[in-house]
Chain A
């Protein structure tokens, strides 16, 4: 799976949009971009994923550049409860193999939302 690069930490004011970048310059055509977050002492929580089109759900928006070498996760109105470590993960989407679905976590971005 392609390696990702994220800034180690970011700050955001409550109520403002949080834009978390991720570089995945070696991504392959069949690899999806996934975002998870981990609030302290809890298991990771799925946020969103996409292949090449921009995606939006109730939690966030995912913007993927046209060359797919980078993406941005957008939390439109950050709250204090969004303070967490955000992981950008690139993974092959095709089925098959007993380890299909395996996620390899990097160091992620520590997002701190302050009042």
Chain B
């Protein structure tokens, strides 16, 4: 099946720094990528949808200036958490969809811990 690679798997950073998370589709072209966030013992919450070459669409309540999403190519999307604070500590997961493909493929997730 299709593979979505997400890096890093775990990151610890100081409060106020920025963190970049990469999501790559390894064997298909991802026309759309989705970014989710998951707090402990909770379900996945969609943060934003990004389409290659256009601006991301953010869900209500998600700050676009804090969570910068770039989808410059059909195989790579990045999520940058700017000026991270402890409350941004969470499990971030990307998913990708290819042209004409019904199902989404998910990355393995990134555990962000902000000290």
Which residues of A pack against B, CB within 8 Å? 32, 34, 36, 38, 41-46, 49, 87, 93, 98-108
Contact = CB atoms under 8 A, between A and B. Distances in A.
B87 to A, nearest CB: 20
Contacts of A45: 106
B57 A98 contact: yes
B109 A43 contact: yes
B78 interface: no
21 contacts: A32-B102, A34-B103, A41-B91, A42-B108, A43-B95, A43-B106, A43-B107, A43-B108, A44-B44, A44-B93, A46-B103, A46-B104, A49-B103, A99-B49, A101-B32, A101-B34, A102-B49, A103-B46, A103-B95, A105-B36, A106-B43
B25 interface: no
B77 interface: no
Interface in B32-67: 32, 34, 36, 43-46, 49, 51, 54, 57
Contact of B102 (A42, A93, A98, A102): A93
B71 to A, nearest CB: 11
A98 B108 contact: no
Contacts, number: 62
B75 interface: no
Given A32-B102, A43-B95, A49-B102, A102 B109 contact: no
Interface string B92-108: 01110100001111111
Given A41-B111, A43-B108, A46-B105, A98 B43 contact: no
A71 B66 CA distance: 39
Contacts of B102: 32, 49, 93, 101
B104 A103 contact: yes
A98 B109 contact: no
Given A41-B109, A42-B109, A102 B103 contact: no
A101 B109 contact: no
A10 B113 CA distance: 31
